[in-house]
Amino acid sequence: MDTSPHLVSDVMTRAVVAVGRKALFKDLVERMERWKVSAVPVLEGDGRVIGVVSEADLLPKEGFRDIDPDRVTQLHRLTDIAKAGAVCAEELMSAPAVTVHADATLAEAARIMALRHVKRLPVVNAEGVLEGVVSRGDLLKVFLRPDNDLADEIRRDIVDVLFPAPVEPVHITVVDGVATLTGRVQDATRIALASRLVRGVEGIVGLDCRLTAGEGA
């Protein structure tokens, strides 16, 4: 049975701190501080995500507190200036929210975070209703998997499938997330495929593939 945390649903946090449109500035700050989160989803109706308020959305109020922006600043930082005067979530939130579905892979979630420069993603269903939140820290949990579990998965799902009858036994060791494969197999064309699949195992940090191909003595 495959127990790898491949999907967002495997690592996401299901108990989520969220707010409504009318949540006030101070309440947002207090919730983020109390629950130690850097952003909160904004919901309406039956829990549909309509935006996200992050620490970055709140900071302009402090940044523009004691300055009178000149015309150039007004032109280039219009959004920040507007947020500096905001008092509730619907005026502060970034919308539409950048979200992800529970059945997305961890790699897909990581790419969305990198491309959109966000630290947390609300997890929504097909109707946009909040199901959880996944953070950068959640995605890194895969690297806490025990080395033995990683080796077992590589054996079961890759080596035994690609090389059912090796010329010499394929040995698999995993130390601190780095996998080493040694042995001799019949089909040289499958070695590159095996390497690619091993690198794709969630939790693998690196690979030293020493597999060779050829007939036995």
Model pLDDT for residues 98-148, shown as the tens digit of each residue: 999 999 999 899 999 999 999 999 999 999 999 999 999 999 989 999 999
Residue 114 is classified by DSSP as: H
Which helix (H) or strand (E) segment holds residue 27: the answer is helix 25-35
128: Cβ contacts below 8 Å, ≥ 6 apart: 48, 49, 99
Tokens of 196: 């690619």
CA angle at 45 for the pair 42 and 47, rounded to the nearest 5°: 55
Mean pLDDT of 77-95: 81
- pLDDT score at 214: 84
pTM: 0.78
Mean pLDDT of 61-77: 59
Residue % of the chain over a pLDDT of 90? 81
Query: In whole numbers, what is the pLDDT of the chain averaged over residues?
Result: 90
pLDDT band (50, 70, 90) for residue 61: confident
Q: Which of 25-29, 68-72, 79-83, 159-163 has the lowest mean pLDDT?
A: 68-72
- pLDDT score at 50: 97
Q: Which residue has the higher pLDDT, 99 or 79?
A: 99
Q: Are strands 39-44 and 48-54 parallel, antiparallel or unpaired?
A: antiparallel
SS3 state of residue 156: helix
**Closest Cα partner for 179 from 162, 197, 166?**
197
- pLDDT score at 1: 42
